[in-house]
Structure 1
Amino acid sequence: MAEIASHPDLSLETSGHFRFTTPTGAVWATNGPLLILHYYDRQHPRAQLVAAPSGDGQAFGTAGTPSLSAQGFLRNVSASTDVIRARADFPNIQIAIDFEIRRNKSGFIFRIADDGVVENQPGLYRILRVEVLPEFGAAVTGEKGYLTLPNWSGCQTFYDKSYPREVRQTIYSSNDQWEYNCNMGLFGITRAQGTLCGIVAAGDYDAELICRVHWEQARTNSIHPCFVYRWQQEDDRIPGPREIRYSITPSDSAEGEGYVFCGMSYREFLRQERGLLSWKEKAETRPVVLDYRDRFFLKIFMAYKEPQADGRGRYHATCTFAEARMILEDCVRRGMRHLAVMLVGWGIDGHDGMPPTRFPVDERLGGEAAFRKLIAWCAENDILLGVHDSYGESYECSPDFDPADVIRNRTGELWQGVIWSGGQVHKTCPSVFVEKHTKRDVPRLRHLGIYGHHHIDAIGSFMTCYSEDHPLPHRADFAGEVRRMFHFIQSEMGSVSTEMPFGPYFEAVDGYFHSYSHPGPWHRASVVGQYFLDRTIPLLSIVLHGSINCGEGAGSLKTDPLFWLDWGMVPTWEVCMTPSESFGIPSYQSVAADLSAIYAQYFGRDNLAALLGPLTIEGRWELSEGVSCTRYSDGTEVLVNRSDFAWQDLPPQSYRVNSLATARRESSEPAFA
């Protein structure tokens, strides 16, 4: 078979066989094809696909037409010691894709330049998607190792399946894949020879990860990227380069587990190219961010309306401003002083009761006068007080509701969502709400005396907007507007967090309330949850520790504190005075003792938050079932035994911190009594 280029560590043949050899002699390869082109044939019309290379025409068509005999070829353009430049040519349909494979210090880069795509007859044939290096590095069922997927806090899939499954998931989950929570353009393949890490470094807003287990006769397990040039055939081609970077580490790498190498590689990419800052770097312009970082994050849920289509459901007050002070006074008596407290449902009609209208402060909770008194009391007692809010939804029950502000879908209809406290959700276009609502209301909160932190409700999947007045033609445009909201809030309030992790906004936020370490039933019912989720892993914490507080709420109380410590997370909690059964939020008194014990471990006696918060995770080893060791950037090692049995000299349900900067800290007693 003819070679396009061959070097000791990098070779490509016209057959599509591609090989990369590491300095240790490990070979990572694919037998081809190198690319798979998805295109739209406007003659028939239908979507088609053809590989490069391909032997015979594969596309459906009518005899005598070009589409019947569409074929793909790989052709050499040029090659040097470090770079292979080639073309995937589809001459019968007048499409070509120029690409380069460039070696770097840790692996190689596959790149398609913005001008590397040629469509000579777009009236007949249009590019939809391009799959890159399918099955590269694939493992065979029965091998030791696992796939690392960027779902939830991190998803691990072992090579032990007896069923073939494939999922094509959109990076930064599309709205119809919300429950997948695909948070990052990152994946990994760990085998006996080491770990292959893939990072979608360009074109990630319009890309998919194709994940397979026990696939077809070869029984392969793999992940590869698919770049989207058009989501629908009638769209203009989405501009910009496409790039996937592969890094490889041996099985005995210094980072320990293979997924740790993936997380560290992605963190380096985010810090070098996507603006992710360390806590120290953030504090250079926003000093208060360190104060937020080292506090226990506590929400107080104040009010809500029962969901009803017209937004007129029954109102429930679960905690007035006076009662919130009672809760906080008890916290102080118990020694819980270093708190970041976010009030939920403080505005008119409670939580999500009337957005985009949030003022006046609801009189049923005490009104603005009581709110100001609580603000003053918190300032006197060194409690960082802020609010929980949302700027992406609007409801017809609001006097500020304007249908002209709402996202329009392709048909021109208003984009609507679930029936919630304020009625049926209308998704407000971020190019509107940042200027019209965020910049109006956040300064008003600051004028009341709120400063230091602001919490934003769930910002997840995003969509394009087809309004003639405020169009957002690409997914990246939507994300850019939401980032603008976060940046404004940071500048006004000093720091900002949001409900759940989402990759496009890593550089723009300082914390998460949930990190999805325990996917819920709706997550597990998804295709990824059913067929790929063997267990969750702390991939998210490895990427973000030292830059963002990855919080997690309470679950099984007896083991949560050890779990948070083991995974590099921080505890978060939400309470009210009167239990909120609809939202599952407990009364403060029912969990006060638990809160106090958790506070002591993280912010009081052991002060683990301050000790570990500034550091990055540099290694993690799973020593036995339920036993792990995590190494931080200053050399501190945290050994956690979450099992019911002693491991060496470490008792069950306990931890040990060995720090070079401080004296050794040990907890031989159960972490949570």
Structure 2
Amino acid sequence: MGNQGKCLELDAEAFRFRAAGSVFRCRPEQLLRGKVYARPEKRTYEVRNFTFRELASTASRLVLEARNREFGFSATLDFTVSDDRLSVRIDPFKLIETRSASFRLLELSLLPGLLETERGEEAEWLLPAYTGALAEPGRLTTDCRTRNRFYMDQSEWEKFNQFNAFCVMTRRGSLLAIVAEGDFSAWCDSEVEDGFCRCFTTFRLRHAPDELLSSGPMRIDYRMRAARVPWPELAMQYRSCLIEETGVIPLSERLDGNPVLAYAAEAARIKLFLATKYPTVPDGSSPVRVHATFAEAGKILDALRGRGLEKAIVTLVGWNIDGHDGAYPTRFPVDPRLGGEEGLKALIAKATAMGYQIVVHDNVTDAYLRSPDLDCDMLSTDEYGERQISGIWAGGEAYKLCPAVCLERYGATLDRIHALGFHGCAYLDAQTTGLFRCSHPKHPADEREFALSLCRILEYVRRLYGASSSENCASYALPYCDEAANLGRSGWEQFRSRLDDGFNRLVSRIVPFYNVAVHGLVIYRSCWSSRTGLFGLYENLGNDWFEFEYTPGGLGCDFRDALDDVEASARIRRELPDLAGSFVEEYRENEDGIFIRFTHDITFTFHTKGGTLTITRGSRVIAVINQNRDEK
């Protein structure tokens, strides 16, 4: 660098900074982009021409004003560098619009040119879709663009976005970019155009031109590497950042003094589907079909114990009136078709006597108009002022209670459920899936407030029961959740036809980046299926999760078909009680297969040619599982 005493500088040729023992460069014209809405023309323009003025500079900090005179706005970019990290912050109150009568700033994109590569140059991107979408931009011969939101955008829920980071890996270096602030209104943009390949962050500043500018701070932390490193190494670095920067406490450090969580970490989750309505119709008028009464559920537990399952979190789905998703927010009375409250309490007593935890599956913020307990004033409303609808399920059209006021109105129901005698790691479904906002004048909430209010409910249930669990577990929810169910690695092939063409052209495969990062931070569970058996469960680095019915034909599987795998899984679990709390310390891929080494001397070796998984502790083989579902 020109000034040897400084770690950051900008001149006519490049923005440069020193990190991780190397100097990184970004062309000034690729330092910042914007998007504005022109009110007279009713159209948007992309803005790339900025003039930069230095406002302050020290050895490790550089503050720049970026100004665009044509559209009349300026932004202040605050760069700091230390060791291997470059941080870039935008203060929203230093965004100035001087021609806002005509032009409204909608978006800002930071450092599009950082580690850009030329078309044809070998590089990889790790995009924040599914558990990590690996892209190879250099192989494309035509221009291409895709946009992936950090966390799940309801309009593209099929991507199951769950984390606030992306990676770029090139021959000149690698980066792990973490959107530390402003992450609920940010996207990872990827483009192949003008002979270059770029991957960068874009912040939304307002939803629509008639809104005020966002008042939320924006910050990206780039963890730099001087060489090209594989994605698993960056996943482990992301885990370290989650612990150091966001206050996530490793699972192993939360077990002492919490017997509920300690038990859950060594147990299988057994979901029992009791009753539901189908087919799903808008008015929820389909009949309830029973797939296991409380007495029959007890028989399933007897069969599981007979196969050696010593620890289980029995999770009842559809115990409430009208079954699964039947009449929320109404839960009571307990559905009489299953045996009523007396039968439920008998099942709770039976599970408890067997040493099992027993809890309910609950969709705590879902609401159906047929519910006699529905308070419509508690429903969230969308940007058009209409009731927010999230889909059609068993109870009909499902509306979304605003989580900012949900506990205020319905928290007593959660207490009443707990008072029935349920105990263990409580499960709330879909708490960290699609992002919503509420426009109700009595309880407005933006995406961040909406999402973190859902986390508050998770935290309340955690304090009530001792531990909490949810379907998926976005990175913002990690401080509030103890268990994540099904992180969604396998959805790409299923939903590929519904995704944007740019994504499908860029992405080569889905990898378990997020699984590697969060294993050992939460109990991660992968669902067993009759098609993939235990091999599929462990392939996703998951812990045991089974979904059963007594009478087949519903959402679960016939428990009788899984008893052999339950027995094999229980045997493995007894040998590896510390697996859930173990970090992934090494993850290697080659033509022979995949090798994973966890803490506590546990290894998984997937053999491509033989189609087997070998699980070991030290030199001792715990199990050999065939992909064709035979276990040795």
Under a length normalisation based on structure 2, what TM-score does the superposition of the two structures give?
A: 0.93
Hey, what does 1:649 align to over in structure 2? none
Structure 1 position 236 matched with structure 2 position 208:
no
Give CA deviations for 1:548-568 in whole Å, capped at 9, x if unaligned: 12211124645x534544543
Match of 1:590 among 557, 561, 578: 561
Identity rate, percent: 24
Matches of 2:459 and 2:614, distance apart in 1 = 38
Give CA deviations for 1:5-51 in whole Å, capped at 9, x if unaligned: 88675442346x33345555474544632111212333434332322
Under a length normalisation based on structure 1, what TM-score does the superposition of the two structures give?
A: 0.87
Instruction: Work out whether residues 626 and 642 of structure 1, in 8 Å CA contact, stay in contact via their aligned partners in 2.
Output: yes
Hey, what does 1:66 align to over in structure 2? none
Hey, what does 1:615 align to over in structure 2? 582
Matches of 2:146 and 2:624, distance apart in 1 = 45
Change over 3 Å in CA distance of 1:201–1:398 after alignment to 2: same
Kindly state the Cα deviation for residue 91 of structure 1 after the two structures are TM-superposed. Answer: 3.2
Structure 1 position 202 matched with structure 2 position 181:
yes
Change over 3 Å in CA distance of 1:117–1:458 after alignment to 2: same
Kindly state the Cα deviation for residue 418 of structure 1 after the two structures are TM-superposed. Answer: 2.3
- Please say which of residues 118-127 and 380-389 is displaced more in the overlay: 118-127
Matches of 1:445 and 1:574, distance apart in 2 = 22
Matches of 2:347 and 2:246, distance apart in 1 = 39
Structure 1 position 216 matched with structure 2 position 193:
yes
Match of 2:606 among 638, 641, 644: 641
Structure 1 position 653 matched with structure 2 position 612:
yes
Hey, what does 1:32 align to over in structure 2? 29
Matches of 1:91 and 1:36, distance apart in 2 = 14
Structure 2: which amino acid aligns with 1:246? Y
Matches of 1:531 and 1:600, distance apart in 2 = 43
Kindly state the Cα deviation for residue 4 of structure 1 after the two structures are TM-superposed. Answer: 11
Matches of 1:548 and 1:632, distance apart in 2 = 15
Change over 3 Å in CA distance of 1:164–1:46 after alignment to 2: closer
Change over 3 Å in CA distance of 1:594–1:281 after alignment to 2: closer
Matches of 1:669 and 1:197, distance apart in 2 = 34
Structure 1 position 293 matched with structure 2 position 265:
yes
Hey, what does 1:129 align to over in structure 2? 107
Instruction: Work out whether residues 598 and 672 of structure 1, in 8 Å CA contact, stay in contact via their aligned partners in 2.
Output: no
Give CA deviations for 1:474-510 in whole Å, capped at 9, x if unaligned: 2111012111101100000111111223233121111
Give CA deviations for 1:226-251 in whole Å, capped at 9, x if unaligned: 11111111112211221111112244
Hey, what does 1:305 align to over in structure 2? 277
Give CA deviations for 1:568-599 in whole Å, capped at 9, x if unaligned: 32131101011134x3x211112222222233
Structure 1 position 470 matched with structure 2 position 443:
yes
Structure 1 position 188 matched with structure 2 position 167:
yes
Kindly state the Cα deviation for residue 373 of structure 1 after the two structures are TM-superposed. Answer: 0.6
Matches of 1:383 and 1:330, distance apart in 2 = 14
SS of equivalent to 2:100: coil
Give CA deviations for 1:91-121 in whole Å, capped at 9, x if unaligned: 3443211112211111311111233212234
Hey, what does 2:426 align to over in structure 1? 454
Match of 1:390 among 359, 363, 388: 363
SS of equivalent to 1:612: coil
Give CA deviations for 1:367-415 in whole Å, capped at 9, x if unaligned: 1101101111111111111110101211111101232222112222212
Change over 3 Å in CA distance of 1:562–1:6 after alignment to 2: farther
Instruction: Work out whether residues 14 and 75 of structure 1, in 8 Å CA contact, stay in contact via their aligned partners in 2.
Output: no
Matches of 2:248 and 2:412, distance apart in 1 = 27
Matches of 1:519 and 1:484, distance apart in 2 = 28
Matches of 1:668 and 1:392, distance apart in 2 = 42
Matches of 1:123 and 1:410, distance apart in 2 = 23
Hey, what does 1:543 align to over in structure 2? 517
Match of 1:269 among 233, 238, 241: 241
Q: Mind listing any 5+ residue stretches in structure 1 that lack a counterpart?
A: 55-71, 646-651
1:243-642 residue pairs with structure 2 within 5 A? Answer: 243-251=219-227, 258-283=230-255, 286-306=258-278, 307-437=280-410, 439-459=411-431, 460-472=433-445, 474-519=446-491, 521=493, 523-525=495-497, 526-527=499-500, 530-555=504-529, 557=531, 560-565=533-538, 567-581=540-554, 583=555, 585-601=556-572, 603-604=573-574, 607-608=575-576, 610-622=577-589, 624-625=590-591, 627-634=593-600, 636=601, 638-642=603-607
Matches of 1:541 and 1:419, distance apart in 2 = 30
Structure 2: which amino acid aligns with 1:38? K
Structure 1 position 104 matched with structure 2 position 82:
yes
Hey, what does 2:45 align to over in structure 1? 48
Instruction: Work out whether residues 303 and 315 of structure 1, in 8 Å CA contact, stay in contact via their aligned partners in 2.
Output: yes
Hey, what does 1:60 align to over in structure 2? none
Hey, what does 1:648 align to over in structure 2? none
Structure 2: which amino acid aligns with 1:428? L
Give CA deviations for 1:52-86 in whole Å, capped at 9, x if unaligned: xx2xxxxxxxxxxxxxxxxx211122222111111
Instruction: Work out whether residues 9 and 21 of structure 1, in 8 Å CA contact, stay in contact via their aligned partners in 2.
Output: yes
Give CA deviations for 1:252-293 in whole Å, capped at 9, x if unaligned: 7xxxx6222332232233223323121244335644111111
Structure 2: which amino acid aligns with 1:370? G
- Please say which of residues 327-336 and 194-203 is displaced more in the overlay: 194-203
SS of equivalent to 1:467: coil
SS of equivalent to 1:110: strand
Which has the bigger relative contact order, CA under 8 A and spacing at least 6? Answer: 2
Give CA deviations for 1:133-156 in whole Å, capped at 9, x if unaligned: 113212334444421112112211
- Please say which of residues 514-523 and 331-340 is displaced more in the overlay: 514-523
1:6-17 residue pairs with structure 2 within 5 A? Answer: 10-14=8-12, 17=14
Kindly state the Cα deviation for residue 523 of structure 1 after the two structures are TM-superposed. Answer: 3.2
Instruction: Work out whether residues 32 and 133 of structure 1, in 8 Å CA contact, stay in contact via their aligned partners in 2.
Output: no
Change over 3 Å in CA distance of 1:274–1:180 after alignment to 2: same
What is the Cα-based RMSD across aligned positions, in Å? 2.5
When the two structures are aligned, how many residues end up with a matched partner? Answer: 624
Change over 3 Å in CA distance of 1:389–1:626 after alignment to 2: farther
Q: Mind listing any 5+ residue stretches in structure 2 that lack a counterpart?
A: none
Structure 2: which amino acid aligns with 1:592? L
Instruction: Work out whether residues 527 and 537 of structure 2, in 8 Å CA contact, stay in contact via their aligned partners in 1.
Output: no
Change over 3 Å in CA distance of 1:261–1:44 after alignment to 2: same
Kindly state the Cα deviation for residue 354 of structure 1 after the two structures are TM-superposed. Answer: 0.4
Instruction: Work out whether residues 35 and 131 of structure 1, in 8 Å CA contact, stay in contact via their aligned partners in 2.
Output: yes
Matches of 2:597 and 2:26, distance apart in 1 = 32
Matches of 1:311 and 1:417, distance apart in 2 = 14
Instruction: Work out whether residues 484 and 525 of structure 2, in 8 Å CA contact, stay in contact via their aligned partners in 1.
Output: yes
